[in-house]
Structure 1
Amino acid sequence: MVQVKALPVLFCAMGLLSETLCSLTLEAEVGDKVTIWCQHDLTNTGYIFWFKQIIGSVPLIMGCKKFRTSAPSVACHFFTESERIVMSVHDKNTSLTITAVNVSDTGLYYCSYSEKMIFSNSTSLQVKGC
């Protein structure tokens, strides 16, 4: 089961809390479904990325979408999406949903947006299991 305080997560997703207050730690059990939220302030076309980083390793791109104000977001042409890890983009936030988490999903997740790679809040995910 995912353990997280719902009200702060809701406020973070709505953009009502500052990004420093939105850094979270999620705990999940193997097999759980987890959704991580991140704010963005794009008003023009730009890219939104999700990264995962573990200690001693370079960040891995977990998701990428091209944000467009006049049309739905589209996947980045250089990134192949996963069926288990799904990225969604909304007007002021983005989410990364991981179904059937496993221990290898443990790490620090954060998003970045625009051409200048502005990094937003991070979430540490700890998956417990055998």
Structure 2
Amino acid sequence: MRRSSLQKMSVDDLVDLFAAIGVAQDDACLEGDTTKYNRLFRKMRAVAEELKQRPGDQRRALHRLYAFDNMQVRLMAAKTTLAIAPIDARILLREIADAKWLVQSLDAGMCLWNLERGVFVPN
């Protein structure tokens, strides 16, 4: 995903793209397609970086995805907003971990574990 194309998008469009990528990640995970998932992860990271670079760090706009109907989208929104909304993001990560929703619950639990031990420091 080219940075120049992301720069032309509105914050709302970037949030919608982030959600669409998350849904596609979930599908790739269910299909066992690691290559596709990794490619989508890089695209999502580019979207998150574009939001971060916007005045006022617009990653906060991802907060609206905390109630999204797809667990992968909620997980990635929480992880992406840890640096700017640590309390809300941790609450959502705990909810996901407690949901026992296979892959996403494990990911959320490991994220919390790494945060508590200082292995992972959000930026």
Question: What TM-score, normalized by structure 2, do the two folds share?
Answer: 0.31
Instruction: Determine which structure has greater relative contact order: mean sequence separation of CA pairs < 8 Å that are 6+ residues apart, divided by chain length.
Output: 1
Question: What TM-score, normalized by structure 1, do the two folds share?
Answer: 0.30
Greater strand content: 1
